[in-house]
């Protein structure tokens, strides 16, 4: 472990709590990016009064468990995360036109409107598999390359850019990029698989599969916003913005964006974890690297999971209790705008578990890791400063490595009669 670097920071003027308020309020952070609430002592669960039930979710006529499809924002971002989610990247076929892209989105809108409600699609090849949505949501996002592919860069929003390179990345093409990214989530892997097949088939020869990344959370009866342990044992996802309220501007494009109002940015980072070297650490070393207790996710300065950390506390020998290089301390926002929504999922490439134990240099080859999905209005402004700080210094970098990266614009939602992308691809 190298000593943490000291860096100086400047912040643009930002409405909301100032630096001191943020640093002192105990905003926390988790693996590979910080997201925080303005009032961290009482984080409010997204879209829900009790933090457990999906807002707006209901039961269809046949008792199926469904999430709403129509609305100004797509479901699957601020709705509670289900047990299984997969991200499916597709590239437009060579020579595809804007009309092809529009046609695909029109078909998908129709199909998504039915599948998410537990109804067979038109000309469904397996209608018996379409009737168990289990809170299915499908969210559609476009990478900047989609606009380039159809020769209409001019339609891409200015806020949709690539991430800069980070020194700690070991990105592989096979997990990166993509013209179109579908996010498919449900309590049931069977449902995810069927929706996935149906939508890709429905797009026909105009798209080519690029990659699929499937992840899981611990199961619960219904989707819910709760922190849970990732594969390293770390309690991950404690701190989130307040949804459907004052933090909306952190996640969604606003009315001032006109046709892009209701859009968001997906940043999906595939973070490989070297569990072999990590698990050889003693618990104290793990907790020092994280900055939180393994047992309950509380800061090392005490309290519970939601207690603010005391960054000024020192040990008897004068060392900081919370290591300056700890992940929590490096990832926590240093300005109010360095916050975003996260839906992290664990992944495991079970087909690839036949290797021997990993050495430190092999982290990028690990079959275990985290699909770190972040959602923000502006990735460059909100996500990049945090990721840059983590790339500079984060004790967890010893055991983690980003092996995939993708940025895409989550399209605005639709009302009945509209189709996805209708306004922004006009």
CB closer to its own copies, 153 vs 296: 296
**To the nearest whole angstrom, how small is the minimum distance from the Cβ of residue 273 to its own copies?**
11
Q: Is 134 in the site for its own copies (CB under 8 A)?
A: yes
Which residues lie below 8 Å from residue 49, measured CB to CB, with a gap of 6+?
Answer: none
**To the nearest whole angstrom, how small is the minimum distance from the Cβ of residue 125 to its own copies?**
4
**Segment 76-115, which members bind its own copies (CB under 8 A)?**
83, 86, 88
**To the nearest whole angstrom, how small is the minimum distance from the Cβ of residue 327 to its own copies?**
16
**Segment 14-73, which members bind its own copies (CB under 8 A)?**
none
**To the nearest whole angstrom, how small is the minimum distance from the Cβ of residue 402 to its own copies?**
18
Segment interacting with its own copies (CB under 8 A) among 37-45, 92-100, 273-281, 303-311: 273-281
Q: Is 351 in the site for its own copies (CB under 8 A)?
A: yes
The rounded distance, in Å, linking the Cα atoms of 329 and 32 is: 12
Binding residues with its own copies: total (CB under 8 A): 53
Q: Is 213 in the site for its own copies (CB under 8 A)?
A: yes
**To the nearest whole angstrom, how small is the minimum distance from the Cβ of residue 387 to its own copies?**
25
CB closer to its own copies, 132 vs 248: 132
When binding is defined by CB under 8 A, the residue of 4, 68, 233, 308 that contacts its own copies is 233
When binding is defined by CB under 8 A, the residue of 58, 197, 314, 360 that contacts its own copies is 197
When binding is defined by CB under 8 A, the residue of 4, 189, 308, 324 that contacts its own copies is 189
**To the nearest whole angstrom, how small is the minimum distance from the Cβ of residue 205 to its own copies?**
9
**To the nearest whole angstrom, how small is the minimum distance from the Cβ of residue 209 to its own copies?**
4
Where along the sequence are the contacts to its own copies (CB under 8 A)?
83, 86, 88, 125-126, 128-129, 132, 134, 187-191, 193-194, 196-197, 201, 208-214, 216-219, 221, 228-229, 231-233, 275, 279-280, 294-295, 346, 348-357, 368
């Amino acid at each position: 472990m190298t000593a943490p670097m000291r860096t100086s920071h400047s912040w643009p003027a930002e409405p909301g709590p100032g630096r001191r308020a943020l640093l002192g309020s105990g905003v926390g952070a988790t693996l590979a990016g910080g997201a925080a609430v303005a009032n961290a002592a009482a984080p409010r669960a997204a879209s829900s009064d009790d933090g457990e039930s999906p807002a707006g979710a209901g039961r269809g006529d046949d008792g199926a468990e469904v999430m709403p499809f129509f609305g100004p924002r797509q479901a699957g971002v601020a709705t509670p995360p289900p047990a299984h989610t997969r991200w499916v990247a597709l590239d437009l076929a060579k020579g595809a036109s804007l009309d092809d892209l529009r046609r695909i989105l029109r078909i998908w809108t129709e199909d998504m409107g039915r599948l998410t409600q537990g109804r067979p699609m038109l000309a469904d090849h397996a209608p018996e598999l379409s009737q168990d949505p289990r809170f299915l949501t499908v969210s559609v996002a476009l990478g900047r390359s989609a606009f380039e592919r159809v020769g209409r860069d001019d339609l891409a929003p200015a806020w949709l850019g690539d991430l800069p390179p980070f020194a700690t990345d070991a990105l592989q093409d096979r997990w990166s990029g993509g013209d179109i990214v579908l996010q498919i989530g449900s309590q049931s892997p069977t449902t995810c698989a069927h929706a996935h097949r149906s939508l890709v088939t429905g797009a026909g020869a105009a798209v080519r599969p690029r990659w699929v990344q499937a992840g899981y959370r611990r199961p619960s009866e219904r989707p819910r916003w709760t922190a849970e342990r990732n594969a390293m044992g770390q309690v991950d996802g404690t701190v989130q913005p307040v949804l459907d309220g004052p933090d909306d501007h952190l996640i969604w494009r606003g009315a001032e964006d006109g046709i892009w109002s209701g859009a968001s940015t997906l940043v999906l980072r595939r973070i490989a974890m070297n569990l072999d070297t990590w698990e050889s650490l003693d618990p104290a070393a793990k907790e020092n690297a994280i900055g939180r207790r393994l047992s309950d996710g509380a800061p090392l300065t005490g309290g519970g999971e939601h207690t603010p950390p005391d960054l000024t506390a020192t040990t008897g020998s004068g060392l900081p209790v919370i290591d300056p290089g700890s992940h929590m301390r490096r990832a926590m926002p240093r300005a109010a705008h360095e916050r975003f929504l996260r839906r992290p999922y664990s992944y495991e490439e079970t087909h690839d578990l036949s290797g021997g134990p990993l050495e430190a240099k092999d982290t990028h080859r690990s079959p275990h890791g985290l699909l770190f999905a972040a959602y923000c209005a502006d990735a460059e402004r909100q996500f990049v400063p945090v990721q840059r700080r983590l790339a500079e210094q984060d004790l967890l970098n010893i055991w983690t490595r980003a092996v995939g990266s993708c940025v895409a614009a989550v399209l605005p939602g639709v009302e009945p009669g509209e189709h996805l992308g209708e306004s922004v691809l006009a």
